[in-house]
Amino acid sequence: MNNLINKKILLVICGGISAYKSLEVIRNLKKKNAQIKTILTKSAKEFVTPLSVTSLSQEKVYDDIFNIENESEMDHISLSRWADLILVVPATANTISKLSNGSSDDLASTVILASDKEIYLAPAMNVRMWEHPSTKSNLKKLKNYGYRIIGPEIGDMACGEFGKGKMTEPNEIIKQVESYFNNLEKNKKFKALVTAGPTREYIDPVRFITNKSSGKQGYEIAKSFRDNGFETTLISGQTNLDSLSGVKFIKVDTALEMFNETINNLPADVAIFSAAVGDYKIKKYENEKIKKKESLNLSLEKNIDILANISKHNSLRPKLTIGFAAETNNLIKNSLKKLEEKNCDWIIANNVSDKSIGFDSDENQISIFYKDKKRETLKKMSKSLVAVEIVNRVIEKLN
């Protein structure tokens, strides 16, 4: 089955010996009826000509961010939005360095930096450049940003040396692109629901009690579901994060509001409850602001347990129901207890007493506790990569 028909692929060609292989990538993508637009970097034109690229892609070549014709016809933002996927072939050490540091000094880097689409890099360079610590550090950053890396391979190089750094062959690159679109199509049948952020329980019109949460991990999970083709709903408490394009976004305040919106947006194939829902609420809400006193006694009562209610629901329970556990001690014991008491399929736990992976951090380290009592601990990584790992396991389970 050809799933590349009419797919819009933006090909960025960088300057390296392997640039000639990009012509084969274009030829094979065109055979599969994909739509191709290309950007040539300044150094790429030393290896392949705009004429050869145009003759194969049957489209004009973009190469200059300051070209008046380019900017009036399709500026760098529009070009990045046009694409379903961006493919950088070959991705040189210089390009990898620029992207990892957020540089945008030419059209290629500006388009990639402005893109909200999936970006694949096919690195190609000398083995010593590939093994240099700066290259490894730059690639680690890009992976954390969500870039996908294809290769490189081990083999003979144009410089006469042998080792890792040879660009992956065009046919294998296209197979990975096909696999991406195939997964998108396959996952369209799935519906995902994610809760994120803190809830607020109001004392009076201006005061409330809450749980600490940035919402970052839940938002990254929703983003990863979206990027993998799921119909995705994100129900969020109050955070400083922007809503996600392509995701049904619902903002709530209280635990009861979050519960009601969750019920309203079920059924779903998978639900991940990463929100920091308040365990307690104020027993008696004051309609007017309470005046300052020497002391204030608050009477609390137990709040609605969203995860337990959904996990034990006879008809609305998702096929895969996953809870989060933010623990400060006894992580294994507490997580297993929560897994059983809440009747969910998985518990994803982290130790929030570690400030480097805490609430406001961009990194996380999780342990996944499964219903059969098996446990899997992932290494410390960015929250975006944690989300990818979680969603990959969800896809494997649902399929």
Spatial separation of the C-alpha atoms in residues 70 and 74, rounded to whole Å: 6
The answer as to CATH 3.30.1050.10 being correct for domain 188-398 is no
Determine if the pTM surpasses 0.75. yes
Question: How many other β-carbons are positioned within 10 Å of the β-carbon of residue 74?
Answer: 16
- The answer as to CATH 3.30.460.10 being correct for domain 8-185 is no
CATH 3.40.50.1950 domain residues, the chain: 8-185
d(CA 257, CA 281): 13
**Edge-to-edge order in the sheet of strand 35-40:** 61-62, 35-40, 8-13, 85-91, 118-123, 148-149
Buried b (16+ CB within 10 A) or exposed e, 7-43: bebbbbbbbbbbbebbbbbbebbbeeebbbbbbbbeb
- In 3-state terms the chain splits into helix, strand, coil percentages (rounded to 5) of 35, 25, 40
Cα 57 to Cα 371: distance, rounded to the nearest angstrom: 51
For CATH 3.40.50.10300, the residue range(s) in the chain are 188-398
Average pLDDT of adjacent 10-residue blocks, the chain of 399 residues? 88 93 96 95 92 92 69 68 95 95 90 91 94 94 90 83 90 94 91 97 94 95 94 97 93 97 97 96 93 90 96 94 93 93 95 80 94 91 93 94
Q: For residue 68, how many other CB atoms are within 10 A of its CB?
A: 8
Q: Under a CB-based contact definition with an 8 Å cutoff, are residues 85 and 180 in contact? A: yes
Residue 398: what pLDDT?
93
- Closest by CA position to 227, among listed 390, 38, 398, 36: 390
Q: Measure the CA–CA gap between 227 and 319, rounded to whole angstroms.
A: 21
Alpha-carbon distances, residue 44 vs 61, 204, 293 (angstroms): 12, 64, 71
What pLDDT was estimated at residue 160?
Answer: 74
Q: What is the secondary structure of 84-151 as a DSSP string?
A: SEEEEEEE-HHHHHHHHTT---SHHHHHHHT--SEEEEEE---HHHHHSHHHHHHHHHHHHHT-EE--
159 noted as active-site residue:
yes
The reported pLDDT for the residue numbered 70 is: 54
Tokens (6 digits) for 130: 């590939």
Q: Is 113 exposed, middle or buried (0-12, 13-18, 19+ CB in 10 A)?
A: middle
Q: List the structure tokens of 194.
A: 């994610």
* Beta-sheet pairing, 118-123 with 85-91: parallel
Classify residue 175 as exposed, middle or buried by CB count within 10 Å of its CB (0-12, 13-18, 19+): middle
Q: Which of 5, 77, 159, 296 is catalytic?
A: 159
